[in-house]
Amino acid sequence: MSVQKTQLSILQDDIRRRYDSLSKRLKQVARYLLDNSNNVAFDTVATIAQNAEVPPSTLIRFANAFGFKGFNEMKQIFRQHLMEETASYTERAKISRNKINIGNERPPEKPKEILDMFALVNSQALQQLSTHIDEQQLCQAISMLDQAENIYVIGLRRSFSVASYLIYALRHLERRAFLIDGLGGMFTEQLSMVSSKDVVVAISYSPYSTEVLELVELGAKQGARQIAITDSMVSPLAAFSDVCFAVREAQLDGFRSQVASMSLAQTLAVSLALRSTDAPSP
């Protein structure tokens, strides 16, 4: 497999490197571009500006700051990358048609139409997950989990189902895994015994849970190694993590899926199981 960086990956690296030096408005654009590369490829400038919550002129200023004459010129890098990463020409045409026409179509109303649309957006999210997750970080996360004395998993509200599944899978692998659910308000107490021999897996998406942020900070102070599953490489969880997975879930009319996050959790569990099976007998 080629390790040559694409134009998009070079641009994304540049955005991450310069992120802290950008103005507040330009940071909003940076975060949106990093987290929504597929949408940026085909959405209109007006739609991107609305979703990033900035005026269209800010997109132009952002593009100029990174050496482009205009935002449409920058968009071409996102579009070309998506088309190249899509396996077949039929799928490329389908993605292009769906992205371009979706604004002119009526929203899905019938159950089958809703199912079809969720299947479509989830398949795109899974494709993005597969291409964006770094293999080296994935292997590092598996190694961390394998070596951990205890594994603490934190996921509240929308993230709770993913955290619960991961605990379920880890317990079936006979790992010392503990779900931090804050029962009775005892968030800190549940993580009070964490040490440098342990791993904390934190799952949180925007708007990030205050309790999760406080717990990952506590874990960092105790020297625990940390894995973050979140929605952006500039998520506040990333600052405390040894490995950070940015998962962009599919979204339909404000309803966010969990398919990609569940797939990542299953990948961690199955990979850990296979690693245990391959380990030499004592």
Q: What is the pLDDT at residue 140?
A: 94
273 or 251: which carries more pLDDT confidence? 273
Asked if pLDDT for residue 86 goes beyond 60, the answer is: no
Asked if pLDDT for residue 269 goes beyond 90, the answer is: yes
Asked if pLDDT for residue 281 goes beyond 50, the answer is: no
Q: Tokens 């389908």 correspond to what residue?
A: 94
Which domains occur in the chain, in start order?
A: 7-84 (1.10.10.10), 135-278 (3.40.50.10490)
Residue pLDDT, tens place only, 232-249: 777 788 888 899 998 888
Q: What is the pLDDT at residue 75?
A: 86
Q: What is the pLDDT at residue 138?
A: 92
Residue pLDDT, tens place only, 162-203: 999 999 999 999 999 999 988 888 888 888 888 999 999 999
Average pLDDT value for residue range 80-103: 52
Q: What is the pLDDT at residue 87?
A: 45
Residue pLDDT, tens place only, 34-48: 888 777 877 888 889
CA 120, 127, 146, 272 torsion-angle sign: positive
Contact criterion met (CB below 8 Å) for 226 and 220: yes
Q: What is the pLDDT at residue 272?
A: 93
By DSSP bridging, strand 225-230 and strand 199-203 are parallel
Residue 151 burial (C-beta neighbours within 10 Å; 0-12, 13-18, 19+): buried
Contact criterion met (CB below 8 Å) for 44 and 72: no
Percent of the chain, pLDDT > 70?
84
Beta-carbon neighbour count of residue 125 at 10 Å? Answer: 22
Percent of the chain, pLDDT > 90?
34
Q: What is the pLDDT at residue 100?
A: 43
Q: What is the pLDDT at residue 84?
A: 58
